[in-house]
Chain A
Amino acid sequence: MSFLLTCPNCGEREVTDFAYGGEVVVRPSAKPSERELNSYNYFRRNAAGVQREWWYHRSGCRSWFLADRDTTSNEVHWVGLPGR
């Protein structure tokens, strides 16, 4: 895997600068059933296409941010800090 990723703080960098945090999963807001908890903990959509995911700029500003990446082409359509 090799592509460029734009950190919202630092700018464009090699993807090896970053750590991948996986697709964005919403944590249950209230106590989930066992099945819901297990699917939150262990199941992922693993989309073939664009998905929103977490990235951590480990070798840079050490911030977490969100990216919309096409998993089939590694094209990144959008990056941004959470909550903005």
Chain B
Amino acid sequence: MSRLPPGRGERIDRERPVAFSFDGKRVAAFEGDTIGSALHASGRRVLSRSFKYHRPRGLLCCAGQCPNCLVEVDGWPGVRACTEPVREGMRVAHMNASPSLRFDLMRGTDLFGSRLTPPGFYYKTLIRPRRLWPLYEKILRHAAGLGRLPRRQAEREWRTEYRRRHADVLVLGGGVAGMAAALRAAELGADVVLVDDGPELGGDLLAGEGAESARELAARVRAAGVEVLAPAAALGFFDGIVAVWCQSTLHQIRAGHHVAATGSIEQPLMFEGNDLPGVMLCSGAQRLASLYGVRPGKAALVATVADRGLEAALALHEAGVEVVGIADTRSSGADEELSARIAQERIPLLRGSAVVRAFGRRQVKGAVVAELDEAGRPIADSERGINCDLVAVSGGTVPATSLLLQAGAKARWNEAGGAYLPEGVPPGVHAAGAVAGHESRDRAEISGAAAGAEAALELELGDERDRARLQLERESLSPESEPATQLVPAAAGSANGRHEKCFACLCEDVTTDDISFSIDEGFDSLELLKRYTTVTMGPCQGRMCQLPSIRQMAADTGAAVGEVGLTTARPPWSTVPMGALAGRPFEPAKRSAVHGRHQELGGNVLWAGDWRRPYDYGDPEGETMAVHEGAGLIDVSTLGKLIVRGPQAGAFLNHLYPNRFDNLKPGRIRYGVLGDDAGRITDDGTVCRLDEQSFYVTTTSSGADAVESWFAWWLAEWEMETHLTDVSQGLAAFNLAGPRSREILSALSDLDCSNDSFAYLDGKRAHVAGVPCLLLRIGFVGELGYELHCPGALAEHLWDAILDAGEAHAIRPFGLEPQRVLRLQKLHILVGQDTDAESNPLEAAMPWIVKFDKDEDFIGRWALESVNERGPENKLVGFTISDGVVPTEGAAVVADGKPVGRVTSSRFSPRLKRTIGMAWVPAGLAEDGATITLADGGRRLGAEVQIAPFYDPDQERLRG
């Protein structure tokens, strides 16, 4: 174990050991460790293999930013080991290496194959011979990607939730600036949410001497009532909403004001072998040492371009790590106090020097350091080797501006700060801390508090004293004295020995040579370079590679770094499981009031739109015959049901439907088909006039919502004295059909059910089995029948009573499938099945329903008039096939080898003992006895057109 002596700020609890497994081997850890810190402590340096070349990679940032430590945890791929806390018994495994992490066959692509895999190699190396591409593709598909998803997943195992949160102020980033902003805004009375990606608030403060003050500040933030979401990933700005992924919830946060305190990101340095395990960011090494008490290495060489590296060297030294040297690219300008302390501690400081190579097979064994000339190029004969197992690098920092840029800010190069800083931050958004260029602890805290105050004051919280205080804070943030311009060698290489790879992008394995090569090929703007090489497109989203690739481009093209620009910032800023975006597996189902009865009766329950409905009860043919011979009962509660009431209710319906309703007598029913102003059929159903001013309208099951909304829209437009009530949910409905249905109904009610007093298309109110019902004598299924609409709460009683009373008459419940056969026999259309978005009633075999002689205008009138003038092109007709073959619904109607129509419905009728169906055919073929040809898959079928209903065309049974 390579643990350091206990430190003050450490997060681990050395009294509480935890054990987990990595690739099957037991790893000892402490409570508070991350997988990465525990593996590093156990001496393991290689945690993963890289994307393309399968090079060994180890901890780099220790902050969840780089791609180097992606592992699989308990079957979930893509987990960052450096931030994932250890849990007892968790099973951790490596990704992207076979047969083992130690010996990976695909490493061959690095050792022998890299000449064949330049940027764009898909279209270069693998394009000839062309016919082999399918083979190449297979191999590439197999090699591409990281990790493996579980092939199967138990249904609903992965639960995610959405949450909407409205807040006054949303603070992004829980470092000192973010905490100060949240605290100030909350103290002034704002409702504040703070989001941080770390397991603990404090940001960069935690890994240094400021750990205790960070924890104290965090406690004050919570005490002030700030809602803290951590560890949580802010994914991006979406039109005023910030999406935040925290635990299993996607928080959609809409805030009046945003404070971006997203900090800065330390950058790696470019030298040969800069990806070897043991090359680590200074901040990463510091985090390992101070938060987890893990010795990052036995002998550390620090390479830096700024004071930050000097501070890190001292911190590592104090933590007990031997620092064998510091290579500082600056020959002068280092902070004098820091330099003095380094001299005092006898740490060799090599000014004007840079690391040009790290070497070692699986991890760093040493590094080559060279002096730099005035232009920043290494001087070949000044090279010297230094033995070390840790190269801690600091290539400067970049402000983490991505979220600010997504919010609408622009990034401009700031020469003094040596970074792209946000400018033109939009109203309501405030930048604070390192992202705004305020790096030091004090300045970060002041800028945070000022941002919090600004947000609160703009929300009209606080008073004059707060305004004055803000003014003072702003003044104290006047620009610092200009730091010396950093001299950063774009990509340093050793002049001696074999040329080694130097990686600008660790996610996608893009080398600095690849970038130079692509620029030579003409991809000389950053956006093009990004798309061609995929640099900045990996899991780190540019955190580790944007500045290095900009620097390389500047060096190669001779442009200034500030002229290269940044690529467009896009969400997601942090990696997020696809499941988070998909939401929870949520499949709402509607069930009727008697759904339990369907299950008890053995109903074959399937989806029908949003509804769960019985398709049959095990014997569709028998159920069909029962309706013809005795009686059947079907649950049609799914129908939409509207009450249209008011002095103008009849006129309103007259305007909506192509036929007439104002002349419908109370107690009578009429079929209606709804359309739009293009004349197309949108829905159909029956309308029963209850009394002078009230109509009961039924709609199709799937169209219930749309029809309500359609009616409400025209009511709003026409402002008629009519009121609309949707009673779909409150009422259940059953269709009792068959020649014996009259006897069953008579047995259950006092109603005179004789044909004279309760005729076809009559609607009556009556009690049936004691239940108040609206009875509609209609005939969708083609036999004598009654549709009973009753309160849902009483529906089960009614259902049972009808089945009991019908027992003597051989009643059977029937499902959707028998109903489909029965209605097809009558050529009753199903909107959406037999019609589509082009169908109008004139062509859909219902010319009689369009009343052009109506006085008033109605929806669709003008379009139907022009169809009428032109004459229909196609018609919906019935057809029969005698030999029992049933064509597939959707099969083509062909004439002269060309498709001219299609089959919309087809079934075998057990009653008629032949195949019946409906099809769209050219108007010329729409006459009784015409022969049409159906092309169904590979076969051709002859069918005969029939215009009249197949069953009971004279309606004797229906009206009897």
B712 touches A64 (CB 8 A): yes
**Interface residues as binary, A42-84 with B (CB distance below 8 Å gives 1, 0 otherwise):** 1000000000001010100011110000000010000001110
Select from chain B the residue with minimum beta-carbon distance to A29: B857
Within 647-686 of B, Cβ neighbours of A (below 8 Å) are at 677-678
A82 touches B712 (CB 8 A): no
B240 at the interface (CB under 8 A from A): yes
B678 partner, pick from A19, A28, A41, A74, beta carbons under 8 A: A41
A3 touches B240 (CB 8 A): yes
B712 touches A62 (CB 8 A): yes
In the complex, what residues of A have CB within 8 A of residue B713's CB?
A: 21, 54, 56, 64
Number of A residues with CB within 8 Å of any CB on chain B: 27
B717 at the interface (CB under 8 A from A): yes
In the complex, what residues of B have CB within 8 A of residue A81's CB?
A: 716
A46 → chain B closest CB, angstroms? 19
Total A-B residue pairs with C-beta atoms closer than 8 Å?
52
B716 touches A2 (CB 8 A): no
**Interface residues as binary, B223-243 with A (CB distance below 8 Å gives 1, 0 otherwise):** 000000000000000111100
In the complex, what residues of A have CB within 8 A of residue B708's CB?
A: 62
B866 touches A2 (CB 8 A): no
Within 1-20 of A, Cβ neighbours of B (below 8 Å) are at 1-4, 14, 19
In the bound assembly, the distance between CA atoms of A32 and B866 in angstroms comes to: 11
In the bound assembly, the distance between CA atoms of A1 and B239 in angstroms comes to: 6
In the bound assembly, the distance between CA atoms of A40 and B859 in angstroms comes to: 13
In the bound assembly, the distance between CA atoms of A81 and B677 in angstroms comes to: 23
B863 at the interface (CB under 8 A from A): yes
B863 → chain A closest CB, angstroms? 6
Select from chain B the residue with minimum beta-carbon distance to A12: B166
Known: A41-B678, A41-B863, A64-B716. A56 touches B709 (CB 8 A): yes
Number of B residues with CB within 8 Å of any CB on chain A: 20
Select from chain B the residue with minimum beta-carbon distance to A58: B709
B867 → chain A closest CB, angstroms? 11
In the complex, what residues of A have CB within 8 A of residue B863's CB?
A: 37, 41
A56 touches B239 (CB 8 A): no
B866 partner, pick from A21, A28, A34, A62, beta carbons under 8 A: A34
In the complex, what residues of A have CB within 8 A of residue B717's CB?
A: 27, 64, 82
B239 partner, pick from A2, A27, A42, A62, beta carbons under 8 A: A2
B854 at the interface (CB under 8 A from A): no
Within 713-755 of B, Cβ neighbours of A (below 8 Å) are at 713, 716-717, 719, 726
In the bound assembly, the distance between CA atoms of A37 and B861 in angstroms comes to: 11
Select from chain A the residue with minimum beta-carbon distance to B678: A41
B597 at the interface (CB under 8 A from A): no
A83 partner, pick from B240, B678, B709, B719, beta carbons under 8 A: B719
In the bound assembly, the distance between CA atoms of A40 and B677 in angstroms comes to: 9
In the complex, what residues of A have CB within 8 A of residue B677's CB?
A: 27, 37, 40-41
Select from chain B the residue with minimum beta-carbon distance to A1: B239
In the complex, what residues of A have CB within 8 A of residue B239's CB?
A: 1-3, 74
> Which of A2, A42, A65 gathers the greatest number of chain B CB atoms within 10 Å?
A2
Select from chain A the residue with minimum beta-carbon distance to B717: A82
A63 touches B862 (CB 8 A): no
B241 partner, pick from A2, A41, A62, A82, beta carbons under 8 A: A2
A57 → chain B closest CB, angstroms? 10
In the bound assembly, the distance between CA atoms of A56 and B712 in angstroms comes to: 9
Select from chain B the residue with minimum beta-carbon distance to A40: B677
Known: A2-B238, A14-B164. A32 touches B862 (CB 8 A): yes
Select from chain A the residue with minimum beta-carbon distance to B238: A2
B254 at the interface (CB under 8 A from A): yes
In the bound assembly, the distance between CA atoms of A74 and B679 in angstroms comes to: 33
In the bound assembly, the distance between CA atoms of A40 and B863 in angstroms comes to: 11
A82 touches B719 (CB 8 A): yes
In the complex, what residues of A have CB within 8 A of residue B678's CB?
A: 41-42
B240 touches A63 (CB 8 A): no
A63 touches B866 (CB 8 A): no
Select from chain B the residue with minimum beta-carbon distance to A65: B716
Within 151-195 of B, Cβ neighbours of A (below 8 Å) are at 164
- Seen from chain B, the residues whose Cβ lies within 8 Å of a Cβ on chain A are 164, 238-241, 254, 677-678, 708-709, 712-713, 716-717, 719, 726, 862-863, 865-866
A56-B712, A56-B713 given; name 11 further pairs at CB < 8 Å: A2-B239, A21-B713, A28-B862, A37-B862, A41-B677, A42-B678, A62-B709, A64-B712, A64-B717, A65-B716, A74-B239
- Seen from chain A, the residues whose Cβ lies within 8 Å of a Cβ on chain B are 1-4, 14, 19, 21, 27-28, 31-32, 34, 37, 40-42, 54, 56, 58, 62-65, 74, 81-83
Of all A-B residue pairs in the complex, the 7 with the closest CB atoms, nearest first, are A64-B716, A2-B239, A83-B719, A41-B678, A2-B241, A82-B716, A64-B713
10 A-B pairs with C-beta separation under 8 A: A2-B238, A14-B254, A27-B677, A28-B862, A31-B862, A31-B865, A32-B862, A41-B678, A82-B716, A82-B719
